[in-house]
Structure 1
Amino acid sequence: MSKGRQQNERKSYSGYKNIPHRERYAKILDTLDSLNEGDVVEIIHDHDPYAMKEQLSQIMPGMFEWSYIEKGPYDWRVDIKKVFKKPQIQNSSHMDNLFYSDKYTSIH
């Protein structure tokens, strides 16, 4: 268990290195969306996922905390903790379309 991680937090692992780039971002978003508040997922990527972190901070500010475990040169390992759930919106299709649109699947 990492320093500072509470015992009730779930930690899972997701490797994305073998998933084609055009599918990778959507799969990471699905993983993050499935987390409960307080859950942590470790992602392993073949390059720094900094662009994804910045984009998520613009789309959903303050929803995730990031902690780098390893910074290359071959693997980037990041613990991502969901600190609060996505707000419920009466018509959430706009947010879902923004969050999962093709515009964001090309980031790598």
Structure 2
Amino acid sequence: MLLKVERPLADRLDTAQDVVTRGWYANTILVANGSTLNPTDRVMDSYSPTTAQNKYAARRVLAADLTAGAHTVKLTVTGYNRIGVSAQRAYVTRFLHSLPSTKLPTLAWQS
């Protein structure tokens, strides 16, 4: 499922055009084709292949180099599914933060 992220500093997320160009979503999700997403809208693809090791474990980095202080993130469920995927579920279980020097591990299925 595709989530629209309304956060100006969500610079680590794909744009709607990115996910269309990769062939993950049909171009009908874009405003130019009568839908709701602008090509430059930041989106979070919540798809992850389901296996015993990674069930519900899709990690997404939203932004980097944020200043200290409060930050607000608004996630909007778009209702758009990846091509060939029928399930519509999105679980947000936590938000994490780290220091700039912290490197988050990449899971094998994310590469």
Q: What TM-score do you get using the length of structure 1 for normalisation?
A: 0.29
TM-score scaled by length of structure 2: 0.28
* Structure in which a larger fraction of residues adopt strand: 1
